[in-house]
Structure 1
Amino acid sequence: MTEAAHGGDHDDGGHLPPKDSIKRWFVTTNHKDIGILYLITSLFFLVAGGILALLIRVQLWSSGGTILSAIDYNQAVTLHGLLMVFWFLSPIGFGFANYFVPLQIGAKDLAFPRLNALSYWLYLASGLVVFASFFQGGAFTGGWTMYAPLNMPINTPTIGGTATILGLTLFIISTTVSTINFLTSIHRMRAEGMGLWNLPMFTWSILLTVWMMLFAFAALLAALLLLAYDRVVAYGLGGADAIHYFGPEASGSLLWAHLFWFFGHPEVYIVFFPALGVMFEIFQTFTGRRIVGRKWVILAMVLVAVQSFLVWMHHMFLSAINLEIKTLIMATTIGISLPFDLMVFSMIYTTVKGKVRFATPFLFVLGALLLFILGGITGVFLGAVVLDYEFRGTYWVVAHFHYVMLSGVTALVGGMYYWWPKMTGKMYSEYLGKIHFATYFIGFNLVYLPMFFAWETPRRVFNYGGSHTIWHQMATVGAFVFAFSFVIMFYTLAKSYLHGADAPDNPWEYSQTAEWAISSPPSLENWDGRVSYASGSLEFVSTGPASTQGSTAAADGGTAATDGGAMVASQSEAIEPVDDHEEAHPDHASIWPAAIGGSLFVFFLGLSGLTTGGPMYTAITGVGLLLFLGACLGFGLEQFDAPEPAVAERWPFEGVGKNKLGMWFFLASDVIVFGAVIGAYIFSRIAYGWSEWHHGEVVPPFLWPGMVNTFVLLTSSFTVVLAMVYAERGSKKGLVASLGTTIMLGFLFLGIKAWEWSYEFSHGIYPWTDIWYTSYFVTTGLHGLHVILGMAVAIFMFWRATNGAYLEDDEPVELFGLYWHFVDIVWVFLFPMFYLM
């Protein structure tokens, strides 16, 4: 289904339905619409997670409360954490990112609009899978960190527990799609004259966030795939006595902790950085001056993003890691706090030197700064090994964690008020906004400050000493006050949307970024022509008749940026029009992202009970797979135009096409997935004993199948190169023959691997027989899955090539080649690991 939108000021341009049509929200690929969907859905998950939080606080009114059973309490604690961290905190920040990053960098949309829509529908589908887990015998009960052995199916045996894990896996797939899109967009679609140093602070925060996401979420995806194997395959087929990846056979609990916290600590900054960008934007706007030490602040953010991957073991001070490593990690933990000190002092000094206007957005970001400072100070206690021994596993951690994470929420609420006039075209009530802030700030501190005094209470336990009752009761009262503050927010925003005064294009006197130079709300394609900062100021350059449509503001951080609040507006001479592809009307509608999301919801729901839930789950899985394949076929056949601007800043990827860059980012993420799985093999083997790893009557795998398969895959890489050469030469016959040969070699590889596995199965060797066999089957199985996915794409391309495709545009063949070569290279590593060592 192709629906093109024809821009201008008409939101129902082309065939994209109007905003009051339900159909629009199922087919839209426009970045502003997707941003709104993210915001609304994340607020829904906020309410769901908040209700669970209130249940927790009611249970803790007195020690040993009986509102919830022990199992129900564990479900509430676990799902509260998961929903808030994954389905609310990150998505609400990326709701703003979807809406405003293209506007701030001068783009008409993100690089891959359909992938942007797909990321949203996968996000929604993942959350629905998690909600469904409540009705499948109970959701996961092992805490949001999913520590082993609590994550083992013997301890959390319900189908719903597995559904929770699979829902989170689907969420990670969604974030990976989104990450690739934002990285490609920011690096290749910045307006003329907007170098990386000139990016607005919010866009800078998103750029660093997605770089962290690219690697951190890939590590978590690998961990979740291994955990899904433990639950669906090992437990479902091998029974309670099966060997698991995260079982005790090879220090599985420590392995899970390493994999989870390699993701988990960067996740703190992944969640907080979008809020940090909002804080910088609002501090600049409501103090009337640029952020003090802007370039040093950016360098500090970059340093934090890099260091975030070096401190994960400070979450593991109570484990068996030796003291020397713990001391080193303690030093890196203290080191990562220093860049934050610079950022905090920059905001303070900006406030002191500016002319502060205490509007609602500024109150929230100022409150966020105060809360973050307290959260950071209390976190120093946990960064010291000796003190961490005392505080770990207590409510001190709960309080510290919420002061840090919810300071980000506080800033994002400020962002909601800040950008509300731009998104809706309506002004909100400052009176109600300030009442909301007062209620919010009092309620927040009334919830979490008493937890520091009740710190001896164990985490995730509703029994505590009687001396702590008063503190927990204060926290429970505070929780309801805090919840009521969100009722005020929803009322304020609803009242504004329905009855608020019309907002001007720029309601803030000293706003500096491009979104404030266009209408409120923006038109479908944001602006006619293109954006340019070539002169140092924001200009709208016509791509039609030679004229300059206007210039209204300076680039944030550019040569003509505001200093002390003066809005810069310059008039430049007419610029000759550029006959670029932006004159074509891009498409804004596709039903296939929603179809793929819906099909994967069905598939993952069935997969959760595939081996333990009986024939019904098998049927659901099959239906979901068929729907998914059909939706992917429709997606692949759809003609969808998402033009790339001809004039843009693309450093450091000037010579790399948009699609190729996106493939590079995907493969970089996949490197981490395989790296984590291979790292798990090495860790388990060292923990078990390197020389004792092989044992038993039959030691798989045999050498000759691995050698033959290595030759087969290397040969297939050669045939893919031939396919690319023939496509470049316009030879249909050569292209079809080369793709056909690649497909046959792929089937040969899979056939040899299937024979090998069937032989091993016939001799009593299964993935759950031994930790060695587990590593072998799972790692080569993950590689085999990549081969199958590549084969599906190759068959699709072969069919299209027989109809003459790819002769005029050979880029799809090149992109397929990059993927296939990567799969072959991975096998080159796996062959010696499992066949020679």
Structure 2
Amino acid sequence: MAENFPPMTSVKRWFVTTNHKDVGILYLMTALFFLIFGGVMALLFRIQLLEPGGIGILSGSGYNQSVSAHGLLMVFWFLSPFAFGFANYVVPLQIGAKDLAFPRLNALSYWFYLFSGILFAISFFQGGTFEGGWTMYAPLNVPIYTPAMQATTGGTAAILGLTLFVLSTTVGTVNFLTTIHRMRAEGLGLWNMPLFTWSMLLTVWMMLFAFAALLAALLLLSTDRILLTQYFATQQGSSLLWGHLFWFFGHPEVYIVFFPALGMMFEMFQTFTGRRLVGRKWVIIAMVLVAVQSFLVWMHHMFLTAINLEIKTLFMATTIGISLPFDLMVFSLIYTMVKGRIRFTTPFLFSLGALVLFILGGITGVFLGAVVLDYEFRGTYWVVAHFHYVMVSGVTALIGGLYYYWPKITGKMYDEFLGKVNFAVYFVGFNLLYFPMFLAWETPRRVFHYGEGLQIYHQLATLGAFVLGSSFLILFYTLGKSLVSGPDAPDNPWEYARTAEWATTSPPPLENFDGRPTYASGKLEFVDTATDGGTATPGEAARADLERASHDVAQTHEEGHADHASIWPFGIGLGTFVLFLGLSGMTSWVEAFHPEFSSNPSYLYPSITILGVGILGYVLFQFGVEQFETPELAVAERWPFEGIETTKLGVWFFLASDVIVFGAVIGAYVFMRINAGWMNWGPIPEHAWAGLLNTYILLTSSFTVVLALEMARRKSKKGLLASMSVTLLLGLTFMGIKAWEWSEKFAHGDYWFSGLEYSLYYVTTGLHGLHVLLGLLLAGFMIYRVLTVDAYLEDSRPVEYFGLYWHFVDVVWVFLFPLFYLL
């Protein structure tokens, strides 16, 4: 509760906080830790590459693990979370909101992120982490092609850690989409939003769909590794299936990583040239075009597969096409510099450096977009160099952003001289590391053997790696020195910074602003709610806000301010972590039922799994019954979702993501069945009557949910209880029939590992059954709430939200029934 919210010096605060600024700081600090983790992995294999055959500090497996861990850590656990740290801190301030739409879910996304990284780190101690490369290509990503212990425990733990990370991003994505679309200050239309917020809006839109495809791929891979299904372990198109699923995520991911950095560059270029970005509206249009086109180019990563030449040519054209909007953005930044008065501060130097590096990375990427040249360059260090010039140029801009927002976050200024030294060492180290890779392009990727004539380039690259690493030591020293002895920062240390985050104190107080920010007059003002409509200047509001933060917080809570503390997001993260850790070692138990394996499974991992389920059940229940206030904004810009309530919009965004998950899983079924010859097997359940009966049952349950909503609106407790109870019974009946079907298949020896067709049937219907089970748990919880506290009679909206989810589950079954029972 807000009145008991601990101070920032308290350890407790960081476990219970849901405030967006605190969560942003947690993201930034944790991402920097994973930067060090991934950087150490890189230094290890760069040392190994000092000689053409390796100098022997790593075994072949150790080298593969280091390369794989480096890629996974940097792409997933550093790059995107580092950007999300800034987004958490800055976006609500920029749009004039007091917090994100769902503060507890924001905290939950962080704890999922942290525990996913811990699970990945633990995998090193479970016989070895995943060693199949960060792209996890099939069939090298399944147990049969890797050592037994690494395959079944450490490797699986790494995959499950990545799955938990994707759950984190899904929660965060829904939160940011809802916040930006529903909680902008009065008068702040989408067109006029700050460019960093624009970049984050497009980033989370891409994440909503791209990460859902990755989640589907990881779920299928997890079933292969734990349950021994056959999605990626066969010669029936499994490699091509993984390529499609992964790269449908993988190429948008490049822009997901780079867009926040691009938005940060736009903000810093405007601030340190003293002028508005040239062609601002065209830049926004260009970013929208890139976001849309990012989902139309994934097959250029698959030019070396058996895809026909016509399709390859089409994707070559889309690849060249997506570079054109970036040309516009680059020229916009250049013309902004030409027409402005540049101040070469540390943040601007990093931004300018990022622009230079990105131009080189983009130009070298055009080579790979041509089918003929891709045949020559694919699988070589040309790709490694290009990829890093693009991705790490984004890191360069984000480090500039760290310097840019450091005074706002900490209230302290940094040493400008040390900052410039940091940039110089960083820029030299970057180019010394990555540019020789272009010259050593004939080196094959993912191995430490190369021609002797290329040794000098690899030695230069290794030297550059250590120079680049030392730049981060300078960074940490500079920021640490600032915290300890840096001068106090003014509210706005940058002369030409004009976005709303600079209109409050440094650091901002708990509630961000005193009064309500508004752009109704065309400029930023603050409505003084105490005097019913008066306005205050930003400077006056900032000083009043600082005084207000020192008052008794209980008084502010009575005035309708939000709560900021809850321990249950941490508890859910912990419970999920324990559950996933237990699942990572369950393969041996599945092997015990497989006729081809002899296994003596340990009871350790089943015990951990059961413990995780117990913890998760308890904390989810407490999360559900906790009273947590997140007041709805009375006045805000909400186009184009004015008519949709905030939580309902969040549910819609979540369901949109789930549509992609099911679409990818059903698409995998269609792809694999066509590849195997559609008529090679018939409907898996030979008798369709059970599936037809279940279809009627679920459609009937949809009607009872509608009836439950009507009863809640009429405030009929008995009617609500009866309708929800019938829904629960119908759902249980569906699950019972499905369990009977499965038991019949088991009795005839048809298990999920018996063949590809059975893997497809059990996993797809099992994923749907898991959704039904979650819906049943929600229905049971809601019945409990109606019985104990007469819930939903005064506010029927939660029943409506449950109905949306339940109808979605029913619609999915309408697609699954003909696919598996009739065709």
Q: Which category describes the TM-score, using the shorter chain as reference length?
A: over 0.9
Matched, 1:584 2:560: yes
**Superposed displacement of residue 525, structure 1:** 0.4
Alpha-carbon distance in structure 1 between the residues aligned to 2:186 and 2:52: 62
Look up the equivalent residue of 2:334 and give its one-letter code.
I
Pick from 219, 225, 233: which aligns with 1:225?
A: 219
8 A contact 2:152–2:584 mirrored in 1: no
Alpha-carbon distance in structure 1 between the residues aligned to 2:119 and 2:619: 19
**Superposed displacement of residue 546, structure 1:** 3.0
**Superposed displacement of residue 250, structure 1:** 2.1
**Superposed displacement of residue 273, structure 1:** 0.3
Alpha-carbon distance in structure 2 between the residues aligned to 1:74 and 1:620: 29
Matched, 1:636 2:641: no
Matched, 1:109 2:103: no
8 A contact 1:581–1:644 mirrored in 2: no
Look up the equivalent residue of 2:201 and give its one-letter code.
L
Pick from 1, 18, 35: which aligns with 1:46?
A: 35
8 A contact 1:139–1:158 mirrored in 2: no
Alpha-carbon distance in structure 2 between the residues aligned to 1:830 and 1:247: 24
Matched, 1:394 2:383: no
CA displacement 1:85-130 (0-9 Å, x = unmatched): 0000000000000000000000000000000000000000100110
8 A contact 2:517–2:527 mirrored in 1: yes
Structure 1 window deviating more from structure 2 (543-552 vs 259-268): it is: 543-552
Aligned to 1:778: 763
CA displacement 1:709-751 (0-9 Å, x = unmatched): 0010001001100100000000000000000000000110000
Pick from 577, 583, 586: which aligns with 1:607?
A: 583
CA displacement 1:11-70 (0-9 Å, x = unmatched): xxx211111110000000000000000000000000000000000100001122211000
Pick from 64, 78, 89: which aligns with 2:79?
A: 89
Aligned to 1:199: 193
Q: Runs of at least 4 residues of structure 1 off by over 4 A?
A: none
Structure 1 window deviating more from structure 2 (699-708 vs 185-194): it is: 699-708
Aligned to 1:23: 12
Alpha-carbon distance in structure 1 between the residues aligned to 2:764 and 2:81: 31
Alpha-carbon distance in structure 2 between the residues aligned to 1:335 and 1:529: 46
Please state whether the residue corresponding to 1:540 is helix, strand or coil. strand
Please state whether the residue corresponding to 1:588 is helix, strand or coil. coil
8 A contact 2:213–2:245 mirrored in 1: yes
Look up the equivalent residue of 1:794 and give its one-letter code.
A
Aligned to 1:819: 805
CA displacement 1:323-352 (0-9 Å, x = unmatched): 000000000000000000000000000000
Pick from 399, 413, 420: which aligns with 2:399?
A: 413
Aligned to 2:261: 275
**Superposed displacement of residue 582, structure 1:** 10
TM-score by length of structure 2 reads 0.95
Alpha-carbon distance in structure 2 between the residues aligned to 1:780 and 1:519: 54
Matched, 1:79 2:69: yes
Aligned to 2:685: 700
Pick from 602, 624, 634: which aligns with 2:612?
A: 624
Aligned to 2:748: 763
Pick from 130, 137, 152: which aligns with 2:142?
A: 152
Pick from 235, 248, 260: which aligns with 1:262?
A: 248
Alpha-carbon distance in structure 1 between the residues aligned to 2:558 and 2:678: 59
Alpha-carbon distance in structure 1 between the residues aligned to 2:534 and 2:91: 23
1:195-344 equivalences under 5 Å are 195-234=189-228, 244-344=230-330
Aligned to 1:560: none
8 A contact 2:273–2:343 mirrored in 1: yes
TM-score by length of structure 1 reads 0.93
Look up the equivalent residue of 2:629 and give its one-letter code.
D
Alpha-carbon distance in structure 2 between the residues aligned to 1:581 and 1:608: 44
Please state whether the residue corresponding to 2:517 is helix, strand or coil. strand
Aligned to 1:240: none
Matched, 1:731 2:716: yes
8 A contact 1:52–1:76 mirrored in 2: yes
Aligned to 2:172: 178
Structure 1 window deviating more from structure 2 (243-252 vs 46-55): it is: 243-252
Aligned to 1:361: 347
**Superposed displacement of residue 354, structure 1:** 0.3
Structure 2, unaligned runs of 5 or more:
540-555, 589-600
Alpha-carbon distance in structure 1 between the residues aligned to 2:441 and 2:417: 37
**Superposed displacement of residue 767, structure 1:** 1.0
Look up the equivalent residue of 1:499 and give its one-letter code.
S
Structure 1 window deviating more from structure 2 (657-666 vs 61-70): it is: 61-70
CA displacement 1:144-175 (0-9 Å, x = unmatched): 00000100111232410001110000000000
Matched, 1:743 2:728: yes
Pick from 652, 659, 662: which aligns with 1:674?
A: 662
Structure 1, unaligned runs of 5 or more:
5-13, 235-242, 554-579
Pick from 678, 684, 691: which aligns with 1:690?
A: 678
Alpha-carbon distance in structure 2 between the residues aligned to 1:43 and 1:693: 51
Pick from 106, 115, 120: which aligns with 1:125?
A: 115
The two structures, once aligned, show a CA RMSD in angstroms of 1.2
Please state whether the residue corresponding to 1:72 is helix, strand or coil. helix
8 A contact 2:528–2:536 mirrored in 1: no
Alpha-carbon distance in structure 2 between the residues aligned to 1:107 and 1:691: 57
Which structure features the higher share of helix residues? 2
